[in-house]
Structure 1
Amino acid sequence: MPRAPFYRLNPMSDTSSPTVHPQIHWSENGAEHSARWRSESGMPPPKRVVIADDRTTADQAYRMACEGTAMLWRGDFQNARQLLQALARRADHKNDKPSKKAKAAKLAQPEPSATQAFHLHRQAQSQRARTLAMLLLPFDADYTIPLRRAPDVKLACNEAYGRGEEAFVASLRELLGLIGAHEWRRTGVELPALGQRIHPHYGVFAPIRGEYVGLVADAPLPARASLAFDIGTGTGVLAAVLAQRGIQRIVATDQDPRALSCARENLARLDLLGKVDVLQADLFPAGRAPLVVCNPPWLPARPSSPIEYAVYDPDSRMLRGFLAGLAEHLEANGEGWLILSDLAEHLGLRPRAQLLEWIAQAGLKVIDRLDVKPTHPRAQDATDSLHAARSKEITSLWRLAAA
């Protein structure tokens, strides 16, 4: 899934002015210290930092984390992991079993609407993330962690951050995210519709919901479709599917440098770079094509971190930008394929009538729609706070043409 259009310029890649890295400050052994602060989620450096080690109990750590006090770890690395797990259990227990006062307040309120439930869900997720991000680790300039029993994370850090430059501090939770992303990149995601594995990079949306890939694999191709544009290519998965289907040339675009690198690597692994040109562009490349494909972020909400731009499209900017520019980039009798979930409609974030209005305003018409029911675990999880909406979700491929 691609990034948002008219993007904020990625702060990690802005070279228009000298980079000023945020700093974190703490006192230790009677002296003041500071270091570079790193947070891919965009979290500012904590204002209050204390030193913690193997003597710090989970209850003490959870209380400090909830108060916004960060803990710079000086003990055993594996003990830090166990402490983070304990913090997560306490955070989840608080959400699952609220206090009597919270229960009484909830009972006094009417049942939240789907939209309210969505915002409450995101609020709870954000609070949990902030709490768990309060356990910090030191890193040397070469990505060595100077703690007992610390693993070698140099490759995972290089993949996410690039070449090491200076010592820094980051949260243990972020490091575990980097390690998880490294494993995704190493093992890849098996996609039956492609018959191959796609290897997502850190910060690039993994195509774990294969139903939308299957739609692109099965939809009837326009006549004489020798060229296609893949807008917001991400991992390059849809460009790969189109190339496998026999389209002679595909131009795949994205604005995120990580996505561009990821797409090129995946297409090279699949021996498809001879058919696919990967370009940095805001939405469309120059020219027209008989087929233009786009799978924008599905939910019109504000991301809480840069990584969430793969999921959330503020004010539906990418969706509207794609629709508004599609007609002028289609050849005569060409088609635009919009791959979109209707989850936003079930959450009350964007009505179907609004989507149809944007399509008409862009001088487009719907010639067909292919639907599929998602099969991911959350769609069947009755304990999920958004289950009522997820259980109704349909993913669609809208076949659009100039009116």
Structure 2
Amino acid sequence: MTLINWYEKNKTQAADWQSEAGNPAPKAVVIADDTTKADEAYRLACEGTALLYRGDFQNAKQLLQAITRRVDRKPVKPAASLLEAFHQHRARQIGRANITNKVLIELKYGACDLPRAPDVKAAVQAALIVDDNTGKLPARLVLSLRELLGMVGAHEWRKKGVPIHALNANIHAHYGVYSPIRGEYLDLIDQAPLSSPQVAWDIGTGTGVIAAILVARGVKQVVATDNQPRALTCATENIQRLNMQSHIQVMQADLFPAGSADLIVCNPPWLPAKANAPIEHAVYDPESKMLKGFLSGLKAHLNPEGEGWLIMSNLAEQIGLRQPEALNTWIHEAGLQVVDKLDIAPTHAKASDQSDPLYAARAKEVTSLYRLKCV
């Protein structure tokens, strides 16, 4: 971790700096408390000055909410196309985060000692993957209040879990690992024709939910790969909770492990755009790198008569981020053919939210499972 420095109590203070997005520590830091006015805090944040809060924790949350409201009041320029609307939306998200992340909180060994602060230590430990038995959180750690609240929210979701109909059980997503809340793609995996594969691979396993569904459908052996430590830990815990560890091997790999399989499944990020935080890599795949990597490597890893399952939304095509024929072209160039395609309409809330700037694209979105075989 890097350090953040500020002046307080007549001397320069220092603490470890935490930013999930990898943002550098702010150079200008002032002390804020319960007397700090929202307009002044907003002005300072817009200028790049961070506010380290020393008052009541609930008042800090109210100040953050007030700053957020001021950010959201900025008028939205009409977009000439869905592609322009997308780029405007992303720019607003980034700008919003840059300003709202300027409200900071200090933790001492993972605990917040502000009045009316909740017990956040377990959530911070879970987010930073720190085990009490093997390591300690820093004595002084500064991070944005927005990030801390994200850790707390993720921890509560992790404890509760997401119900997965195909498993008749819950899947528990760790902080920084994409939660399987969009269940339609899981329904496709549960319903696609399965010709008794002995060995299957789940590429980019995340929570391990796809690997678990394959085992629930009768696949004897599944290798679940990911290149992110948090995902590997998360998938391992979920698989153990489901008592499927004798059927699923979790392995660190950049896409494919060595060898070959009867069935290889991949649900890559759906939008070819820049990711601005680690969690966004589950949604954004810059230049379609993972998608192209899966397709180009699939043929070399499939057993004779084996199948590859690609789960993709057409949202990128609806927005204009990818040309309509690009995916079929990449499939053909990889020496593959589509033998079947299963479609399903989205059921998540944004699909019917007409206030969403991308509603026109989301209303036409279709999620598909492509069954691929070698030519």
Q: Classify the TM-score, shorter chain.
A: over 0.9
The one-letter code matched in structure 1 to 2:163 is E
Q: Runs of 4+ in structure 1 displaced over 3 angstroms?
A: none
The 8 Å contact of residues 16 and 138 in structure 2, kept in 1 or not, is answered as no
1:3 corresponds to which residue? none
Contact 1:193 1:210 in 2 (8 A): no
1:49 corresponds in structure 2 to 29
Q: Deviations over 1:304-358 (max 9, x none)?
A: 1222111111110100000011011111111000001110001111113111111
For 2:3 and 2:281, locate their aligned partners in 1 and report how far apart those are by CA, in whole Å. 25
TM-score by structure 2 length?
0.96
Residues of 2 paired with 1:306 and 1:197: CA distance?
Answer: 24
Per the TM alignment, residue 149 of structure 1 is displaced from its structure 2 partner at its CA by: 1.9
Give CA-to-partner distance per residue, 1:80-102, whole Å, 9 cap, x none: 111112222222223xxx2xxxx
1:90-169 equivalent positions in 2, closer than 5 A? 90-94=70-74, 98=75, 106=77, 111-140=79-108, 142-161=109-128, 162=130, 163-169=136-142
Question: Which of 360, 363, 375 is matched with 2:347 structurally?
Answer: 375
SS at match of 1:352: coil
Give the letter for the 1:177 counterpart: G
Question: CA, structure 1 residues 165+31, in 2 after alignment: closer, same or farther (shift >3 Å)?
Answer: closer
Q: Distance in 2 between matches of 1:351 and 1:242?
A: 32
Q: Distance in 2 between matches of 1:331 and 1:166?
A: 53
Residue 78 of structure 1 pairs with residue 58 of structure 2: yes
Which runs of 5 or more residues in structure 2 are unaligned?
A: 131-135
Q: How big is each residue's C-alpha offset from its partner over 1:97-127, in whole Å with a ceiling of 9 and x where there is no partner?
A: x2xxxx8xx47xxx42211111100000111
Partners of 2:14 and 2:142 in 1: how far apart?
A: 9
How far apart are the structure 1 equivalents of 2:9 and 2:212? 56
Match for 1:360 among 332, 336, 347? Answer: 332
1:15 aligned partner: none
Displacement after TM superposition at 1:29 (Å) = 2.8
Q: Which amino acid in structure 2 is aligned with residue 366 of structure 1?
A: V
TM-score normalised by the chain length of structure 1: 0.89
Q: How many residues align?
A: 369
Structure 2 counterpart of 1:215, which letter?
A: L
Counterparts of 1:151-300 in structure 2, within 5 Å, are: 151-161=118-128, 162=130, 163-222=136-195, 224-300=196-272
What secondary structure is seen at the aligned counterpart in 1 of 2:73?
A: helix
Deviation at 1:147, TM superposition (A): 1.5
| Contact kept? 2:110, 2:138, Cα under 8 Å | no
Higher relative contact order (CA 8 A, sep 6+): 1
The one-letter code sitting in structure 1 at the alignment partner of 2:102 is M
* Percent identical: 56
**CA-to-partner distance for each residue in 1:135-157, whole Å, 9 max, x for gaps?**
001111x2121322222111101
Q: Give the equivalent residue in structure 2 for 1:12.
A: none
Kindly state the Cα deviation for residue 77 of structure 1 after the two structures are TM-superposed: 1.0
Aligned residue for 2:276? 304
Q: Distance in 2 between matches of 1:90 and 1:218?
A: 46
